[in-house]
Structure 1
């Protein structure tokens, strides 16, 4: 995570591209958690849970 602008160390050693990808992944998980079924994990069978995750990902991918 980038440091504050008044930091003594600065941000010279941070990989900006890697940080952007990390930000995208964190946002994707935040959007997935909005669905109650995923957030509470009602499906205890791995196969069913994977199908719900895939369905929600397709739903999020479709234009609104």
Structure 2
């Protein structure tokens, strides 16, 4: 099993911030999906190479796109930045540019070869 990033305490904080966006419903599978997203952001590996422990890579990818386009991730990160406990947050320039472009209704895609 790949190393996970979210303790139970941190997941509760993040999940409450995600739910407060009003754009997702309460579902236990969201935690492993978020772990998959964070793992992918931390390692930079292609979505298709995501370890199976996080579930089907395409489901994790689709959920990332959905949450990004609905502003769920931006809302959660903005909520967490405003909180007192920010030591565990990280943001990668690539992730930030994806979130910004998705909020503007643009999806950046690699050119097909």
TM-score interval for Structure 1 and Structure 2 normalised by the shorter chain: 0.3 to 0.5
TM-score (norm 1): 0.34
**Greater relative contact order: 1 or 2 (C-alpha under 8 angstroms, separation 6 or more)?**
2
Q: Which has the larger radius of gyration?
A: 1
Q: Name the TM-score, length of structure 2 as normaliser.
A: 0.23
